[in-house]
Amino acid sequence: MTAQLPQIRSRPPWLGPALAGALTLLAWAAGRAGFSTFSQAGMIAAALIAGTPIALRAWRAVRFRSLSIDGLVTLAAAGAILLGEAWEAAAVTVLYSLGGLLEGASLARTRRALEELMAWMPERAQVLKEGGWEEVPVEAIRPGDRVRIRSGEKVVVDGRVVTGRASVDTSRVTGESIPLDVEPGDSVIAGSLVQVGYLEVEATRVGAESTFQRVLDLILEAQEAKPRVQEVLDRVGRVYTPLVLLLAAASLALTRDLHLSLTLLVVACPGALVMAAPVALMSGLAVAARHGVLLRRASAVESLARLDTLLFDKTGTLTEGRPRVSQVHGFGGWAPQQVLEVAAALEARSEHPLAQAVLAAAGPHPPWEVEALEVLPGRGLQARVRPPGRASGPARPVLVGSPRLMAEAQVAVPPEAQALLAREEEAGRSPVMVAVEGRLIGLLALEDTLRPEAPAALAWLRHLGVGRLAILSGDRPAAVEAVGRALALDEARGGMLPAEKDEAVARLVARGHRVGMVGDGVNDGPALARAEVAFAMGLEGTDLAKGVADVVLARDEITQVPLAIDLARTIRRIIGQNLALAILTAVVLLGAVLSGHGHLGWAMLVHQGSVLAVIANSLRLLVYRPTPPPLGRVNASAPARPAWPDPAPGSAPVPDR
C-alpha cells in the first residue's frame, strides 16, 4: 500500500479581511456598550490581522528601494495605534485589504473560466490512418489529416469538409444564432458542435493555430493588458508616501516632538483618503446588485463612468437569441396556416434547432400522418405525409428545407417566390421552403427577434452621452445590418470572427475611445477582455464571458447597461466629493498644526469627523434610484457619427463580409 502525503492547504485569501472586519464590528459594538478596554484591544487585533500582509508587502517594496501606498497605510495605522486611535487603524487596514481582495478574486475567476473552457474541448478525436479510423490525442493531429465528427460531437480542428453533410452550431465561436448547414467544400472551425449529421474534415489549422485556441490566446493577452487598481495606487504611493514621511521627519527634527510628528503622519494620511472610495464603492456595489447589476471589479466603476463607446454582440444581447417564424408566405392557393401545418408535421419529428420555432408558430392543429421521414443533414427533411382525416388516401411526398434542397430536388420556384426569397434574405431572415409533390407551396422566414427593451436602453445610453453605439457580430451581415437599421445604430458589422472583433476594439482603444463591449459567448471573449469595460449578458451566459466580464447583468436585460453607467457616474461623483473633503481637511489641519494654531487633540477630533463625514456621504448611495429618460426624448435628429475608424497605417483592416 502506497503512503500518501498529506495535502497542504493554503489559507483562503478572504479569511484575514473577513476576520478583521468581524473583529472591528464586535469591537465597535463593545465600545458602544461601555467596554472600552475590550474595544481598544479588538481594534488593535483587527488592525494587526488586516495590516500584517500590507506591512509585509511594504517591507518587500522597501527592500527593492521603493515606497508604495502599502508603506503609507502601514505607517498611518501604526501611528494611529500609538496615538490611541486604534479604530482608525482598523478601518484603514480592513478597507484597504478588501479592495485588493476584490481585485484578486476577479482575476482568479477569469483563470477558472478559461480552464473550464479548455476542458470543454475533447482530448481525443477519430483520425483516418492506413488501417482505418483510429482514436488519437487531439494534439497529435496534423494539417492534412482527415478527422471524423458525428452528431453531438465537437469539431476539434479548423478544416474543410471532404465528406458528409451536417447542421453545425457555431454560436460558441462566431455568435451565429442559426445553425450553419455545411457540405463538401465548406469550411468548419474548431469549437463548433455538429448537431445533426456526419462529417469528415481535412484539417487545415490545428492546435495553437486553430480558431478556438486563438480565441483563448487573445483573451489572455487582452486580460493581462488591463490596468489594475493596485498598480495605480502604487504609482500614487511612490510620490505621496515620501512627501508625507519627509514632512513628519522634518517636524520631528525641528521640534523634537514625537507626538506632533505622529499626529502629522496620521492627519496627512490616509484615514479619510483611504475611505473616500471603498465605502462608496461597497455601497454602490450593494445598490448595483439590488438592481441586477453585478460589478466584478471595484475599479470598473471609474471606467464605466467614462465610457463614450459601446459595442454590442447581436445574438442574445440586442436580440432574444431564439429564432422565431416572422413571415409565412403561401403559393398556389395554399394558405399560410396550411403551409405551417405541413412544415410542422415534419419538424415535430426533427431535432433541428429551428424545429421548435416552426412548431411554436403552427400552434395546436390536427395531427398529420408522416411516413418514411428522412433527415437530410445540412439541407432539411423529406417524408411522405397524409393530411388529417385522410387515413385511407395516398401519402404525398413533402420536402421542408433550404433553397439548396429545392434546387437539388428540381422544385420549380415561381418568380413570385423568387422575389420574396430575395427580399427575406436581404432583410437578414433565414428562409425555409416547403414543397408538396415537387411543387413549391410556401416559404417560412425565421429571424432572431429584438429584445423588447432594446430601444429604451439605447435611448437611455444616448441620453447619458455615449456617443457611439455599434454592433460587432459573427452573425450573417444581412441579419446584423437589419438590427442596426431597426435600432438606428451608428455601425453594424456582421460576419466577424473573434479575432476581428478583438482587432476592431483594439483599434478604437488606440484612438483614445473609452470602449465598453456587451456580449454573452465565447466568440465575444477576446473583445470583452480587450474593452475597458466588459458586460456579460445574463447569468446563463457562458462561464468565459462571465469570467472576463467586469459587469454581469443578472436580470439579462439590456437596460441594465445604461443603469450600470448611470450608477457608476453617481458613485464617481460621491467619491470625488469625499476626496475633496478629505484633502481639504488634511490641508487645513496640517496648516493649523504646523503654524501652532491648532491643538493636537482638536486636530485629531476634526480628522475623525472628516472620516465620519466621508462615510455618511457614501451611504447616500443606498437610496439611489435609476432615472431613465422618457423614450420620446430620444434625439432622433442627432448628427450622424463619423464612419468606423480606418485601420492605422500598417495594420490589417477588419474585412467587410
Positions annotated as catalytic residues are 313
C-alpha cell at 599: 491643538
Quickly list DSSP for 343-370. HHHHHTT---TTHHHHHHHH-S-PPPEE
Alpha helices in 427-471 (DSSP H): 454-463
Nearest CA among 111, 221, 223 for reference residue 532: 223
Q: Compute the residue count for the chain.
A: 657
Pairing mode, if any, of strands 124-129 and 146-150?
antiparallel
Quickly list DSSP for 253-308. HHH--HHHHHHHHHHHTTHHHHHHTHHHHHHHHHHHHHTTEEES-TTHHHHHHH--
Contact of 292 with 555, CB cutoff 8 Å:
yes
Q: Using CA of residue 298, residue 300, residue 303, residue 306, what is the dihedral sign?
A: negative
C-alpha cell at 356: 421548435
Burial per residue of 245-270, b for 16 or more beta-carbon CB atoms within 10 angstroms, e otherwise: bebbeebbeeeeeeebbbbbbbbbbb
Give the number of other Cβ atoms within 10 Å of residue 348's Cβ: 16
Phi, psi for 556 (deg, rounded to 5): 55, 40
What region, left, alpha or beta, does residue 84 occupy, with left being phi > 0 and alpha being psi -120 to 50 degrees? Answer: left
The angle, 0 to 180 degrees and rounded to 10, between the axes of the packed helices 86-120 and 229-255 is 160
Contact of 399 with 432, CB cutoff 8 Å:
no
CA distances from 46 to 22, 88, 94, 209, 620 (A): 8, 11, 8, 51, 27
Total H helices, total E strands in the chain: 21, 20
Distance of alpha carbon 529 from alpha carbon 537, whole angstroms: 15
Nearest CA among 436, 460, 433, 461 for reference residue 445: 433
Give the number of other Cβ atoms within 10 Å of residue 90's Cβ: 30
